[in-house]
Amino acid sequence: MAYLSVANATKRFGETFTALKDVSISVERGEFFTLLGPSGCGKTTLLRSIAGFNQLTSGSIAIEGRDLGSVPPHKRDIGMVFQDYAVFPHLTVFENVAFGLKARKVARDEIARRVPKALEAVRLGALAERLPAAMSGGQQQRIGLARAMVINPQLLLMDEPLSNLDAKLRVELREEIRDIQKQIGIAAIYVTHDQEEALAISDRICVMSNGHVEQLGTPQEIYGNPQTLFVASFVGTINALKPGEALTRLLGQLDLTNADNTHPGATWVVRPENLIVASERAEVGEPQAEITGTVSKYTYLGREAHLQIHSDLGDLVVHVANPDRTAVQREGEVKVVVTRSAVLGFGADGKRIGV
């Protein structure tokens, strides 16, 4: 049995607007589970429903088989971390973290034992007596994390906890959150619209759009095997190949004509890193085709370079890894190779074409 299970959750606001449409997910004990999607897709609504701040219109939420429908938020044993830190400015770091324990009438000596441990875990041990106002965003969010964890919750919910921090700190803190979560072995649900963040920290990702689940899987499955055009374009980047004679020829060379013919209006895409500059070509045991184009832009980024090429299949972006060790052409005519498995097709309904 899954640890947390959400079954057929639907949430309507008012008469006409449906924020969640028949969402079913299950989260395992110790799992780092991420809700990923663009703004407004329903991530926060789902998280708040799990926390008990929202009542579902229909569907159910259960922890270890126990239905939470009639359990109020403060009895759900759930720790929450918010985007805006929500620390009390007039309380010290220690008092902020002790707050939830006091509210739960935990004994003084137990508070004195548990708070320092939680502060140690988020590396704020030395700052216990400071006031949060004078602390950085990263430190304030660590307080938020310690406060959520000190109550020993069964489940940790995090709603875009890093989005107010700068890029470098975001990367550091996401690693820390993941390490702490794994150390205590708690199940966590993490909300983000940042696809790279989701790929980096999650055991599994649930990609949402428009109130429904697009795809649920490991980071590798989501990135490498997207089941809808939405997932392929939201997680990572894609080149959509321009319909026309050149595409028909390419699909023929890749043995994909049949799939194309049976899906009128299909969209065929390839990821920039799966277009191989010809000088890099390796022998592969599958059909491959060559695309000729001219370089319209070359961007050097150190660990990789981005080529924009103009071709009969449209303007394509090609990512070349390690350009200093690769003979990359910066201008003029280039040839790129694409293999059959790198070209993904999606039907007019947006669903992946099985080939």
Q: Applying CB under 6 A, which part among 40-48, 225-233, 297-305, 311-319 lies near ligand ATP?
A: 40-48
19 near ligand ATP, judged by CB under 6 A: yes
Q: Both ends of the chain: CA-CA distance in Å?
A: 34
Answer for which of 1, 15, 16, 39 binds ligand ATP (CB under 6 A) is: 39
Residues 244-263 touching ligand ATP, rule: CB under 6 A, are none
42 near ligand ATP, judged by CB under 6 A: yes
Q: How many CB atoms lie within 10 A of CB 77?
A: 13
Site string for ligand ATP, 166-205 (x = CB under 6 A): ---------------------------x------------
CB 302 within 8 A of CB 334: no
41 near ligand ATP, judged by CB under 6 A: yes
Per-position DSSP letters for 12-56, written without gaps between them: EETTTEEEEEEEEEEE-TT-EEEEE-STTSSHHHHHHHHHTSS--
Answer for which of 25, 31, 33, 37 binds ligand ATP (CB under 6 A) is: 37
70 near ligand ATP, judged by CB under 6 A: no
Compute and round to an integer the Cα radius of gyration of the chain.
Answer: 24
In the complex, residue closest to ligand ATP by CB: 44
Contacts of 120 (CB under 8 A, 6+ apart): none
Longest dimension (CA), the chain: 77
- Of the two residues 42 and 161, which places its CB atom closer to ligand ATP in the complex? 42
234 near ligand ATP, judged by CB under 6 A: no
Q: H-helix or E-strand containing 290?
A: strand 288-300
Q: Applying CB under 6 A, which part among 41-49, 64-72, 98-106, 280-288 lies near ligand ATP?
A: 41-49
Per-position DSSP letters for 137-154, written without gaps between them: HHHHHHHHHHHHHTT--S
Which of 286, 307, 304 lies closest to 296, judged by CA? 307
Number of amino acids touching ligand ATP (CB under 6 A): 12
49 near ligand ATP, judged by CB under 6 A: no
Binding site for ligand ATP (CB under 6 A): 13, 17, 19, 37, 39-45, 193
